[in-house]
Structure formats: structure tokens, C-alpha cells
Structure 1
Amino acid sequence: MRLSVRRVLLAAGCALVLVLAVQLGQQVLECRAVLAGLRSPRGAMRPEQEELVMVGTNHVEYRYGKAMPLIFVGGVPRSGTTLMRAMLDAHPEVRCGEETRIIPRVLAMRQAWSKSGREKLRLDEAGVTDEVLDAAMQAFI
């Protein structure tokens, strides 16, 4: 019995659709559990929590909280910021994340919203005050 190329492609497509449907179903169930309050999202700090505990790849427990002091290392390219981050990360009481450009971009976006009269008007109409934006930035960072 000889399989045609069409039948093989049809079977592979059906298998792919089945796998995607199962994954989508799992995500829907997880979202429902999070929304119902039965489970918290993976690695997310809920507002009522004072502290987030994460276990690193080296099986060390890291505790994060709002009262924890933050260190921002910033600078122009090729100025030694990567070396500074690596040296800070070597200290046992300092934990450095990956290098990211998202925080300066988010802060620049926030500043652009404040400077733009049109965006400022839209935000005011929606009831989004400077305090709300500041709280959102603080929660994100």
C-alpha cells in the first residue's frame, strides 16, 4: 500500500492542529485558574503579596519585595556598564538581571506622553493621572 504525499501532509497537518488545540486548551484552563484566584501567575507578584520568592538555576532562593533597594547601572555603549554589572553580580548580596533596554524605553515613552498635548488630553479624558502613570511605572520596574 502506497501513501500519497497528500495523505502524509494531511495527517501531519491534523497532528499539528491537534497539538495546537491541546496547548491552547491548557492555556485557557491556566488563565481561568489565575482569574478565579485559585493560582497566581508564574513568577508574578500579586498586589497583596509583600514578597516574591524565586529559585534560581543554581537552586538558590531569591526574595524580592517592594522595600528592597534597587540599583540601576546605566551608561553609553562601550563605557563599562557590562563589566560593572558583572562585578556587582559577583557579590553574594546583589542580584543582577540580564541587560535590558526596556526600562529606558518605557521611561522615555512615559515622558513623551507627558510632553505631548494630544496624549496628555487623551490620558486625562480616560482618568489616567500622573499618579496613576507613576504607580504603573513603579509596578512595572
Structure 2
Amino acid sequence: MRYEIALKRVYFAAEEDDGARILVDRLWPRGKERGSLSLTEWYRDAAPSSSLRRDYHQGKISEASFQTRYRLELKESADALIPLMRYARQGKLTLLTATRSLPDSHLPLLREALIHALDEEDQSDQELASSPCYLGDFPQGTQP
């Protein structure tokens, strides 16, 4: 199945076709009041950890290192993707961030992880299952 997951800066105006608008940042965007963003939800659990975000913004780690560590965080806390997967299954999902440069933000990596998790789940739903075996439910020597 194909899922529509858009990426936007939270400072851009909400549009009618945004679908579910989810802010995925640990910190609230500067200069924005809570009611002004037309959010469906502010979801922090899939955002980079505070220490990872801090190390990256302070220049202690490279972009490649940030990407590797964030992918690892997402892999280690795969359950954090479940609420976002539910939104994606219901229709268009717009992931929002306050980061200035979307291509350099965590959102493309998050979208990649979401699509991978959705595809894996879809694939597992298509696997054939064997019918249950009732052999142990009958006493030996009798037939149903």
C-alpha cells in the first residue's frame, strides 16, 4: 500500500489537505502559541533524544553520525512509531518540525523509518497462516 507522508516546517500555514498534522520535536517551536498551529498532536517520542539533538546542534557530531544514531534510536524504540503509523493508515500524514532546513532535519529519516515499518507490517499481514491443529484436543484412539 502507498502512504502519503508529507514534511513541513511548523511555521508554514496549515492547509486543508495536510491531513493529520503531527509536530515531531522535543521542544515547542519558539514564538508559537499552542492554539495557533492547527496540530492534531505534538508527539515527542519519535523525535531525536535530547542528548542527540544537543550534540548535533553543538557540532559535537557530524550529520552522518547524527543520522546513524537517530536511525538506531528509532530501531531501538520501534513502538514509538506505532501512533504515527496509525495516522498514516487513516490518510495523509504531515510531519512537522521547527527546524529551518527540512532536508537536513530528522523528518526525512523518520518518514523513511515509518514507510519501512508500514511496509513490513503490510508484508507480514499477507503471509499465509496454517490452520490450527486440534489433534491434542481428542483422546488417543478416538476420531472426531
- TM-score interval (norm. to shorter): under 0.3
> Which is strand-richer, 1 or 2?
2
TM-score (norm 2): 0.25
Q: Which is greater in Rg?
A: 1
TM-score (norm 1): 0.25
The one of the two structures with greater contact order (alpha-carbon pairs below 8 A, sep at least 6) is: 2
